[in-house]
Chains A and B, each alone.
Chain A
């Protein structure tokens, strides 16, 4: 056990995977000797050599396209996209290729690979270093989408993603890279994909969230508790495939639901959670589902703290569904 930040846990997860499996390769822009712009890959090139951890040309399409080719030919690539905002040149490779190979080839060719990329706001990165694009990818059959919220899960989910037989988009909440610390087990362990985590017990309101919104919701829950409202905080961890039963169970427990994400609202992930509850648990609901999200605008720079859901906004929604 060691006390680590989330970024250290990612680094530890990568090293653990590379130590146990020679077919695991790590590459992307500046991930080699520099260790990545956030230092997620620090020390990998020196420990594993340039054939296993290396810098690539500045081409997201090339990074993911070559990773797909490696994966169908027996390697386990863990490709880094420097910021999720830069992933779109690789959208075709992810959506049309990685996610569809198994299906279109009847299982003859499969793509066991991981694409790691930091997402979300909180670093004054403006339009192009702050976005949360999870909804684009969750809409793609054949692709798994995973988002950790703490060091323990970051390492365990990353190792589970690397071991997974299907392509996984691993979105790392960059706002939490150094903002959260926690105990991380030594060596190899996994956190099962498609499992929820109850971050806080509470019987009055259920809050669904993931990634960087989890600590925000925890803060809001503490403030709600001062008002006599006990919020249950559910960390979704894997957005696709989602543990739908777990979501419905948690929603039914309180009958009052808030969904929180920093991505824009329209067609955002919260819409799916809301629809799921409307379809399968409406008779348990005491209030309409409330969504706390980023605005349907591009991501602003100077005023990003107004754009990002904070404990005020989440608390307001908790109070609203509680008092409905």
Chain B
């Protein structure tokens, strides 16, 4: 097999001859349900953004199998350094739709206290979901550092750094892989090759034969998997995670998949993604693929699936309503958490902002439409 031939487990007809997913029936259905919840979350956010109730979201359609397959290989003691397009990993590990919606609205219950844009989640419970920043690739060496700390303390934990194909061009990708290779750090690099970095196709990103191969020069073994095949992603992840836990060092996994939506809710992909490409990938839908697999095992019916999706829409709609009803953070949150203690100059600036508000009234809320 060439390095660039993707590992596949689920055949187009849903069969997996001789494969053991190492998941119970309930766990398999849980994986499927998580993918449906991602879809429901996406569908809800699109409506919320179109009706002006939230400013921005990131569509996950097409990537669900990569997200859930990867997440299923991790324990709660592992650390996630996610990208912004990883909703399925959050939902899989029990981060609630309400916690995510609080961030979408930037309300007082948002863990980032309304400071971050939507989808820039940060959680510590029930799993370490390291706060996301917008610059691309900066989290990759951080995952390696966190992994070094695990190794230093003799823990068998793993750090997962997840990023897109565009992320492989970033400074952090190269320093991260290089350091991880030298340190044999317990880290897994998951490159979600979804074909497009905003409007930039892979051939403009790299002249390399794919992305997993980029690990080779850093001494980091690489594997390409079919990213629309949940069980293939899971298998590659299980092997990589096991290697990391047992002192074997880092792995790079390239999950070949496709972003079926825009880069964000503000982006119109029909302007640059060829129609034929989109249609070809629509036929390889990861949720439908897993449905055929479950059906073959007697774990799927259309009615059950529809009921699960309807239930998810209801749950997520309720979360959105609750998040919308939660007030905005207080003015004081602008000035806290810059440092552990509020220094004198910030205390004065905060006091001045309060004084001004009492003399001249609150600042008018701006509209502000995010362009990207």
Contact = CB atoms under 8 A, between A and B. Distances in A.
Interface stretch (B18-26, B144-152, B229-237): B144-152
B338 A106 contact: no
Contacts of A71: 145
Given A89-B171, A103-B115, A59 B338 contact: no
A72 B141 contact: no
Contacts, number: 141
B340 A241 contact: no
A103 B141 contact: no
Contacts of B172: 61, 65
B354 interface: no
Interface stretch (A3-11, A107-115, A302-310): A107-115
B146 A59 contact: no
Most buried by A among B113, B133, B141, B152: B141
Interface in B125-184: 130-131, 133, 135, 138, 140-150, 152-153, 159, 171-172, 175-176, 178-179, 182
A269 B223 CA distance: 50
Interface stretch (A92-100, A154-162, A177-185, A313-321): A92-100
B116 A73 contact: no
Interface residues of A, number: 46
B351 interface: no
B133 to A, nearest CB: 6
Given A57-B179, A102-B338, A62 B141 contact: yes
A249 to B, nearest CB: 13
B149 A75 contact: yes
Contacts of B338: 102-103, 141-142
A106 B113 contact: yes
A296 to B, nearest CB: 27
B108 to A, nearest CB: 11
A68 interface: yes
Contacts of A244: 344-345
Nearest to A96: B135
Contact of B340 (A56, A96, A100, A165): A165
B149 A70 contact: yes
Interface string B273-285: 0000000000000
B111 interface: yes
Nearest to A194: B343
Contacts of A245: 344
B145 A65 contact: yes
A25 to B, nearest CB: 8
Contact of A104 (B112, B123, B141): B112
Contacts of A59: 175, 178-179
B171 A92 contact: yes
B124 interface: yes
A101 B138 CA distance: 12
Contacts of A61: 141, 171-172, 175
Contacts of B79: 73
Nearest to B129: A108
B111 A69 contact: no
B82 interface: no
A252 interface: no
Given A97-B142, A104-B112, A241-B344, A70 B148 contact: yes
B145 A66 contact: yes
B120 interface: yes
A73 B171 CA distance: 22
A171 interface: no
A298 B176 CA distance: 32
Nearest to B180: A66
Nearest to B187: A69
A182 B135 CA distance: 44
Most buried by B among A51, A72, A165: A72
Contacts of A218: none
Given A105-B131, A107-B337, A108-B124, A65 B142 contact: yes
Interface in B80-136: 81, 110-113, 115-116, 120, 122-124, 130-131, 133, 135
A282 B264 CA distance: 51
A212 B213 CA distance: 49
Nearest to B175: A62
9 contacts: A62-B175, A68-B141, A70-B148, A106-B122, A106-B337, A141-B338, A142-B339, A241-B339, A241-B343
Given A70-B146, A70-B149, A96-B138, 12 more contacts: A57-B182, A59-B175, A62-B144, A62-B175, A65-B142, A69-B141, A73-B145, A104-B120, A105-B131, A108-B111, A241-B344, A242-B345
The 3 A-B residue pairs with the shortest CB-CB distance, nearest first, are: A69-B145, A65-B141, A62-B175
Interface of A: 25, 51, 56-57, 59, 61-62, 65-75, 77, 89, 92-93, 96-97, 100-110, 141-142, 144, 165-166, 194, 241-245
